[in-house]
Amino acid sequence: MLKKLIGGILITTFTFGQTTANPQFSVIGDLVIDHLHKNTSLLSSGIEIAVQGYVNPFARADIYLHKHNDDSPIELEEAVMTIERGLPFGLGIRAGKFRPDIGKINQSHDHLFPYIEAPSGMTKILGEEFWSATGIETNVFLPLPWYSNFSLSYFDSGIGSHNHSDYEKDEDDHEHKDDHKDKDDHNYDDAEKHHGREKQANAFSVRWSHFFELNDVKHLELGLSGYSGQDEGILGADLKYKWRPNKYRSLIIQAEVLQHSLEDVYKEKAVHPDEKLTAGYAMVNFQFNKAYNFGAMVDYWSLELADDEGMNPSIFFGYSPVEESAILRLKIGQLEDEGHHKKHLKTTVQIIWSLGPHKPHRY
Amino acid sequence: MSSTTDIADIVKIIGGDHVAVTSIARGNQDPHYVEILPSYMLKVRKADIYFMVGMELDLWAQQIIDGSRNRNVLVVDCSVEINKMEVPTAQIDASMGDIHRFGNPHYWLDPENGKLIARIVAQKLISHDSKNADQYQANLNQFVKDLDSAISIWTKRFSNLKDKDIIFYHNSWPYFSKRFGLKTVDFLEPKPMITPSPSKLNQVIQRIKSDGVEVIASESYFSDRAPKFIASKTKVKIVKLAQSVGAIKGADSYINLFETNLTILAKAYGVSYD
């Protein structure tokens, strides 16, 4: 029903809000190569197509499509109308399919990550390609002396409908078939496996974020997030500090933690009904030249009752020779083999290029 | 609100005590690339008028204005009356670097254009706040008079800069050079917004040696590295100029920006300017 309603809004708006001005078209291509277990492989390759523009003086539309370089169909990542002007009380509305305002990282597209791949702990909760759902969000500036934004969203499906195949994907990645864990009596693994796997009806998310200008070149952003779906809930907190004295230097410190808990109704599917999956990451990224940056990240997750946890530290390096139109990234990190806790060294190289106004912003 | 400090200073002069104006970009910041901070949206939320540079220099401004959710803000493009330079006559693309399709957007660096900006500012302030129209008109008249007087004095005092060869880091200065008679012979950037390459630096070094170029000037936000490298290989003098109000010491107002820049150049060339 909600999908029909939002579809109707978008079609109506596009039909009656047409102008002679064309929207902006952009393409971002990426190629990721990784080296693990003495094997070098093409991890992913594809393009993101963005179509963006104003629908009318009050609303804009953003559509993101993704095509992997394989036989899979084109995926609709986002198709969202945003109304930011014209509403009373400083309200803003987003409607359509979009990445919900939960946590800091969920709204970021992959090409924005200086560390190439999304932190594995966060993908256990938000899904391999993060949570994108059809729904409606309303947000408002709170009347405080600093920037404070509160958003409340409703979706017709929860995180589970989005990341249905994460576990299997983890299992298949990097040909770890010889290392498959014994699942016969490892129920905790099943609990982890089911985190966010099943189709979830109706979900809500909230986020309260604050932004402080400490001075002209130092900024601090703090956020709290919550999610409630059928039989599951998420609480999260995030922090981002940025120092950017000029165009040749910048420092970003970012950290985020999410805790995913299951509720009673989900008992049948989860071995531990009270289990909590906690995931987080902390990242430091330093730009030391107009074109170069390097940093480090620690990615962490734990299952409380299962007494199971994992941590993957990594370092990364980036080179952007011509502004933001092309980026070369390198990451060297530890990859922990789940279940057996074997640690491997993984090297990843990413090449990103962009065409059009939707650039892969570095900072 | 305004995108840059230059326009903010003109708004302050025309508006006087009746306006409070803030610039999004700092004077020493590259106006091509301004990060869109949430706090900027909060500032624009309280604004009655937003003065943009236009000509696609401050493309970031629209996102700030949209994000502010300010239903009533009047957005004013200050470039509408400008006689634009370097408007492309053929198809442009990214292989040419950062070319602006509506022409070179650094028009405020000609003081004559400062008068055009001031007229637009006054017109919008008068239509928005008609009860203080007389004051805005009087401030405009005084500003135009001051600027005319200053331009006349600068033209005489800095006449020795006329026809001097100069190399700029970035192509921010065609309006300035045309007004004061400087001859731009090259840029350090091989193409607009592309970092100087070793081959380009070598080419510039050869040109300085063969043509006897005396000065390289750059915007305050660029690194000194490339100019210093060239200076170490030649006898060229390197200077930083104020591309906007507040960019360097002394350039604390729109009129002082020109006074400061012209004085720096006159000293670099070793010509008299009193």
User: Residue A124 has what pLDDT?
Assistant: 86
Q: How many domains does chain A have?
A: 1
The residues facing A305 across adjacent strands are none
Q: What is the DSSP string of A205-265?
A: EEEEEEEEE-SSSEEEEEEEEEEEETTEEEEEEEEEEEEEEETTEEEEEEEEEEEEEE-GG
- Same domain, residue pair B89 and B183: no
Rounded-to-integer distance, Cα A209 and Cα B41, Å: 14
Looking at the structure, tell me whether residues B124 and B183 fall in a common domain. no
For residues B45 and B87, state if they share a domain: yes
A17-31, A76-90, A311-325: segment of lowest average pLDDT: A17-31
Q: Is residue A360 one of the residues assigned to a domain?
A: no
Domain that holds residue A98: 2-355
Last residue of a domain, one of B120, B153, B186: B153
Last residue of a domain, one of B107, B131, B153: B153
Among B126, B153, B180, which residue terminates a domain?
Answer: B153
B210, B233 Cβ separation under 8 angstroms: no
Q: How far apart are CA B152 and CA B157, in angstroms?
A: 9
- B1-26 tens-digit pLDDT: 999 999 999 999 999 999 999 999 99
Element (H or E) spanning A60, and its range? strand A59-68
List pLDDT tens digits, range B36-50: 899 999 999 999 999
Domain-embedded: residue A7: yes
Interface probe, candidates B68, B69, B95, B221, chain A, greatest A C-beta count within 10 A = B69
Q: Are residues B23 and B76 in the same domain?
A: yes
Q: Which helix (H) or strand (E) holds B73?
A: none
- For residue A363, being part of any structural domain is answered with no
d(CA A116, CA B262): 47
Q: What does the block give as tokens for A152?
A: 């409340």
d(CA B133, CA B47): 19
Name which of A197-201, B63-67, B174-178, B239-243 the model is least confident about. A197-201
> Which CATH number does the domain housing residue B185 bear?
3.40.50.1980
A263 has pLDDT over 70: no
Instruction: Tell me the torsion sign for CA atoms A42, A44, A46, A49.
Output: negative
Q: Are residues B35 and B131 in the same domain?
A: yes
Answer whether residue B52 is part of any domain. yes
Q: What sign results for the dihedral spanned by CA atoms B220, B223, B226, B232?
A: positive
At A180 the pLDDT is 37
- Let me know if residue B274 belongs to a domain: no
Please indicate, yes or no, whether residues B126 and B12 belong to a single structural domain of this protein: yes
Hey, are the CB atoms on B26 and A91 less than 8 Å from each other?
no
Bridge partners of residue A49, in order along the sequence: A27, A65
* Binary contact (B66, A244; C-beta < 8 A): no
Among B37, B66, B223, whose Cβ lies nearest the Cβ of A211? B37
Whether complex ipTM tops 0.90: no
For A19-24, what is the mean pLDDT? Answer: 72
Q: What is the pLDDT of residues B171-188, one digit of tens each?
A: 999 999 999 999 999 999
Residue whose entry in the numeric block shows the structure tokens 């969920």: A106
Rounded to whole angstroms, the Cα distance separating B55 from B72 reads: 23
Closest Cβ opposite residue A248 in set B26, B33, B223? B223
Distance from CA of B194 to the nearest CA of A (A): 6
Task: For residue B201, give its domain range.
Answer: 160-269
- Candidates A85, A212, A290; nearest CB to B69: A85
The residues facing A61 across adjacent strands are A53, A81
**Same domain as B166, residue B86:** no
> What is the β-pairing status of strands B49-52 and B74-77?
parallel
Distance of CA A106 to the CA centre of its chain: 3
Judge if B143 and B165 occupy the same domain.
no
**Mean pLDDT of the residues in chain B:** 93
Q: Using a CB–CB cutoff of 8 Å, tell me whether B63 touches chain A.
A: no
In total, how many domains does chain B have?
A: 2
Looking at the fold, whether B212 and B138 belong to one and the same domain comes out as: no
Over range A305-332, report the average pLDDT.
Answer: 87
Q: With an 8 Å Cβ cutoff, are A60 and B66 in contact?
A: yes
